[in-house]
Structure 1
Amino acid sequence: MANISASLVKELRDKTGAGMMDCKAALGETDGDIEAAVDWLRKKGLAKAAKKAGRVAAEGLIGLAVSGSGTKGVVVEVNSETDFVARNDLFQGLVRMIAQVALDVGTDVATISAAKVGDVTVADAISSAIATVGENMTLRRAASVEVGQGAIGQYVHNQVSDGLGKIGVIVALESTGKADELTALGRQVAMHIASANPQAVEPSGLDPEVVKREKDVLADKFRQQGKPANVIEKIVENGIKTYYKEVCLLEQPFIFDDKKSVGQALKEAEGRVGGPIAVKGFVRYALGEGIERQESDFAAEVAAAAGQG
């Protein structure tokens, strides 16, 4: 049996909201496999959902840039060691510059790093900023969305300066309608995405393996309760519809009017915009999501430094 550490139990508890002893039992049953333990808890009805909240474990900034035509947008993440650097004008200028370069050369990190701005490459500019500020910095990732005709909606949450913050969203709305109306609507949709964190525009965009896992968890849960196969099939079908409403943008309740879905809100806006509207894609970056950081006990560190630990 795997050695189940307290930190692993805490991580599972944070993911699921289940009790400590239930989390310990789940990890014991699954040999310490945290994802399998999440499923085990869900099958027992002890966890509401497998929500992988991206734990912010790196500092820095998310930067956005939109082309002059308004039909292409990019989002980049540039990390630093401390939050203090995010308030530094030099670092903010560096992130803005990198976002602009990504608009021109694409979103491959190596290509961006090798691109020249004046006489220096982006990689050189980062190295120079590191030498000036005295703190490590890295370009972690970049992504873009684009439409032939329409507008890019954008939103930055926890904004520290124009186009820079902790969460950045760009969303591509394809339409022959009025660009200014589309841009305003796009901002609302981007704000919704920042808040609701959808995983895909619609069900067809979800990873089939993820959908299969949801179905398996639902089926196993009610199979253990002794439900007959035909009943389980209907429960799973309804459960997946509910899941789609939770994770698919067009099916989520719109944060500005939760009596209608995002898809319904866009349909209603078509008259005002002056043409059909299609969401062609979106990107949502939250600073540091998916990066683990060593957690420390500050009080214990101070006590140890004072010779009391």
Structure 2
Amino acid sequence: MFSRRALPALASRRLYSTETPGKPSIKLVAELRKITEVSITKAREALTATNNDVQAAYNWLQDDLVASGAKKAAKLGDRVTQQGLVGVSILSNSDGKAKSGRGVRAAMVEVNCETDFVGRNARFDALVADIAHTAAFIAEAEDSSSFFKSVPLELLQDAPLITREGSQSEAQGTVGSVINDSIARFGERIQLRRAVSVVHTPSVSDIRLRLATYSHGSVGIPTQGQIGTLAVLALRSPKVNELFGKPEFVEDLGKLERSLGRQIVGFPTTKIRSASNEPDDGALYDQEFMMYLAANGERVGRALQQWAQQRGLTSAGEADTGLEVMEFLKWTVGESESS
């Protein structure tokens, strides 16, 4: 949508005259283009339609963009969208010491387009990031056997778009209207394909949840790319709150989380553990932890045990303590939903 940076001063730009307005001046065209980034032709059309009133021309362009976006969305509705981005937004990752700081809040979305040219555009990149941020913001906790909850696309599209900076205004509109605006801007179909959220705070004080994420094929924002993952980790120990008060522990944990995310994305990972006693290349815990150099060739499951022991999360004689990958999702742009 258009920027509102210069709008407060526009009210004084109205041209009061009893004469029929002439052709828009270069100065007015330049002023309108500065705050809207539309073409010269479109700026002249808007000014002509509004008697050279810059504020009214701005509003006219807003309405025109909505109308043209809706028309193009309907016209392009049958086109195939196999390109795009998977985007992740983490709003809370168990960083604080208070009870509310032991939980997590995040979302992952897939937004598709028709061509790689649009999929790698900075504007599209920002659009996906803002949609993921909105999904994480509006998500609600829910009792379920899974940490991940599907976000209804209708609900998300009707929600006011909340940017990564946390701003929300009439100029941005809803997620759906901003997608239509992008369709009008890019001239190709853009589709919000799927969205999930995770919102959870443990009821037990000696458990902390954390989120690990990684995206491959990012354009400019590292939390989104062609392949993305979001994993839920649980840290259990009577000492867990004490350990989270140590910066070096949190820093080491962050490195481990990034390595886990890269491992899930970089290998054919489909599950956490093997369903049998036989090694399974698709099981995360059975894979050699290639993405974590400190693992020294150990399997992921064993490396997590060693990490917990070395940092005091697990002590001799303590049961049900340590670090565990509870659940993860891994999405690839354009894949079938059953993948």
Structure 1 stretch displaced more, 178-187 or 278-287: 178-187
Gaps of 5+ in 2: 1-80, 95-103, 140-150, 162-168, 202-207, 244-248, 314-321
SS of equivalent residue, structure 1 residue 283: strand
Q: Which residue of structure 1 lines up, in the alignment, with residue 120 of structure 2?
A: 87
Q: Which residue of structure 2 lines up, in the alignment, with residue 151 of structure 1?
A: 210
Which aligned runs of 4 or more in structure 1 are off by greater than 6 angstroms?
Answer: none
Query: CA shift at 1:146, angstroms?
Result: 5.2
Structure 2 distance, partners of 1:87, 1:197, is: 25
1:255 pairs with one of 290, 293, 316:
290
SS of equivalent residue, structure 1 residue 102: helix
Task: Indicate conservation of the 8 Å contact 1:174/1:279, yes or no.
Answer: yes
TM-score in terms of structure 2 length: 0.54
Q: Which residue of structure 2 lines up, in the alignment, with residue 115 of structure 1?
A: 159
Query: CA shift at 1:258, angstroms?
Result: 7.7
C-alpha spacing 1:179/1:73, structure 2 compared with 1 (3 Å): farther
C-alpha spacing 1:69/1:152, structure 2 compared with 1 (3 Å): closer
SS of equivalent residue, structure 2 residue 305: helix
Q: Which residue of structure 2 lines up, in the alignment, with residue 166 of structure 1?
A: 226
1:193 pairs with one of 264, 268, 275:
264
Spell out, residue by residue over 1:242-265, the C-alpha distance to the aligned partner (whole angstroms, 9 max, x if none): 3x5222222222224584221101
Higher relative contact order, structure no. (Cα contacts within 8 Å, ≥ 6 residues apart): 1
Structure 1 distance, partners of 2:288, 2:277, is: 13
C-alpha spacing 1:138/1:180, structure 2 compared with 1 (3 Å): same
Task: Indicate conservation of the 8 Å contact 2:217/2:226, yes or no.
Answer: yes
Say if 2:187 is the partner of 1:134: yes
Query: CA shift at 1:145, angstroms?
Result: 4.0
SS of equivalent residue, structure 1 residue 271: helix
Query: CA shift at 1:76, angstroms?
Result: 1.0
Q: Which residue of structure 1 lines up, in the alignment, with residue 136 of structure 2?
A: 103
2:330 partner amino acid: R
Structure 2 distance, partners of 1:72, 1:269, is: 25
Structure 2 distance, partners of 1:134, 1:249, is: 41
- Structure number with greater Rg is 2
1:279 partner amino acid: V
Structure 1 stretch displaced more, 75-84 or 108-117: 108-117
TM-score in terms of structure 1 length: 0.59
Task: Indicate conservation of the 8 Å contact 2:86/2:108, yes or no.
Answer: yes
- Give me the CA root mean square deviation: 2.2
**Counterparts of 1:198-277 in structure 2 under 5 Å?**
198-203=269-274, 240-242=276-278, 245-256=280-291, 257=295, 259-275=297-313, 276-277=322-323
SS of equivalent residue, structure 2 residue 281: helix
C-alpha spacing 1:152/1:287, structure 2 compared with 1 (3 Å): same
Query: CA shift at 1:155, angstroms?
Result: 0.9
C-alpha spacing 1:258/1:272, structure 2 compared with 1 (3 Å): closer
SS of equivalent residue, structure 2 residue 128: helix
Spell out, residue by residue over 1:105-154, the C-alpha distance to the aligned partner (whole angstroms, 9 max, x if none): 23322221111123321011101110111110001112234553232111
2:213 partner amino acid: Q
Q: Which residue of structure 2 lines up, in the alignment, with residue 284 of structure 1?
A: 330
